Amino acid sequence: MNILFINSIGRNKFGGGEKWMVNAAKGLTDRGHNVVLASKRNSRLLEYAAGRGVRTEAMEIRGDFSPLATLKIAAWMKKHQTDILICNLNKDVRVAGLAARLVGRPVVLARHGMLLCSKKWKHKLSLTRLTDGIITNSRTIKEAYAGYGWFDENFVKVIYNGLTIPGNVTAFDFAARYPGKKIIYSAGRLSKQKGFEYLIAAAAMLQRKRNDLIFAISGEGKLEAELKSKVKALGIEDTFVFLGFTPDIYPCLKGCDLFVLASLFEGMPNVVMEAMAMQKPVVATDVNGARELMGASTESLRCDTGLIIPPKDPAAIAEAIEKIIDNPAAMAAFGKAGRERVETHFTVPIMVDNLEKHLKAKLAEKARRG
């Protein structure tokens, strides 16, 4: 198959959706498919993809409507006989999806790692007219879209994220920097979505009761100054530290004691999967995909891999941390169960298997329709 992934995210942005796209492109490339990943010139995404051995192409999409970009992408797909186009953002669907319709050949799929469309007419129009399906990573997103009444039962396909569990990870030596302390770690963009303000509030609550915890965050973003100001105002600068952008968080995950996800919304939170792969217990807010990833049922928050708590609730975060941080046996059991769950359900080979089968099925479906 000739496959084009396109993702017009900002040049300096890189998150779970971008990591999924590179993993998918690399996995399909390794299976003999002709795969290209396109994004903005000099973007962090293209640099990361090229470093992983994925073919890249610079394509600029700046808005929802760009006739010149549409014509350029259409000419590229016609020249390279593209069979499958997988779009990331809504504007990618509108610009590149329209290009695919002009060419007539490619199957067009939107990949939604989060709930990316609401019940707006422009979302309905672009997704029903310019795509042949949606790939998402959690049942909760599929169920939300089913409630819109726009799509038939098979239009939205759930394909869980996958990761490659690294073999030899050297743990970051938190003990050398913070001797005698227990490390609570988190990672993500410093944005409203990630809920770090609630984690900061929970840290302040715990500091009033004990002095053996360090909270460390990897990430950068527009709220950095605001979050640091909150930490300073609460007087917890010595126990709540910002590590900045961390290209490889596995050493930090392996070196910490407990991972916390405080997000307000997610798709399938990759960082939780990575923490589980490093055999770390997880405290996570009850956001899209968290229950599926951590093994909780749809009716209950109970799971073997950690604790699931309500979002926007610092007291719940603090309580969950205290519930397990002083219980080494429980933490070890949660970590072991998490690693086993990732190995069974969430590896890149499993993800690529499911994706490849789905792409072939969509091509066959298009061929039957003529």
User: Quick check: pTM over 0.75?
Assistant: yes
Query: Domains of the chain by range and CATH?
Result: 2-162+348-369 (3.40.50.2000), 174-345 (3.40.50.2000)
Q: Which two tokens stand for residue 131?
A: 């795509």
**Cα–Cα distance for residue pair 56/9, rounded to 1 Å:** 15
Task: DSSP for 160-187, please give it.
Answer: ---B---S--PPP-HHHHSTTPEEEEEE
Q: Any idea what DSSP says for residue 192?
A: G
In the prediction, which pLDDT does 219 show? 94
Q: Which residues pair with 340 in a beta bridge?
A: none
User: What is the distance between the alpha carbons of residues 346 and 248, in angstroms, rounded to a whole number?
Assistant: 19
Per-residue pLDDT of the chain (370 residues; tens, 9 = 90+): 999 999 999 998 887 789 899 999 999 999 999 999 999 999 999 999 999 999 999 999 998 889 999 999 999 999 999 999 999 999 999 999 999 999 999 999 999 977 777 778 888 888 999 999 999 998 888 988 999 999 988 999 999 999 889 989 999 999 999 999 999 999 999 999 999 999 999 999 999 999 999 999 999 999 999 999 999 999 999 999 999 999 899 999 999 999 999 999 887 888 999 999 999 999 999 987 888 999 987 666 889 999 999 999 999 999 999 999 999 999 999 999 999 999 999 999 999 999 999 999 999 999 988 7
What residues contact residue 67 under an 8 Å CB cut-off, 6+ apart? none
Cα Rg of the chain, angstroms: 21
What lies within 8 Å, CB to CB, of 296 at 6+ separation is 290, 302, 303, 308
- Output the pLDDT for position 298: 67
pLDDT of residue 131: 96
Q: What pLDDT is recorded for position 369? A: 84
Helix axes 224-233, 196-207, angle to 10 degrees: 20
- Taking the C-alpha atoms of residue 160 and residue 351, their distance in angstroms, rounded to an integer, is 6
Instruction: Answer whether 308's CB lies under 8 Å from 285's CB.
Output: yes
Q: What strand order describes the sheet that includes 84-87? A: 55-58, 34-39, 2-6, 84-87, 107-112, 134-136, 156-158
As a whole number of angstroms, the distance between CA 194 and CA 213 comes to 21
Bridge partners of residue 55, in order along the sequence? 36
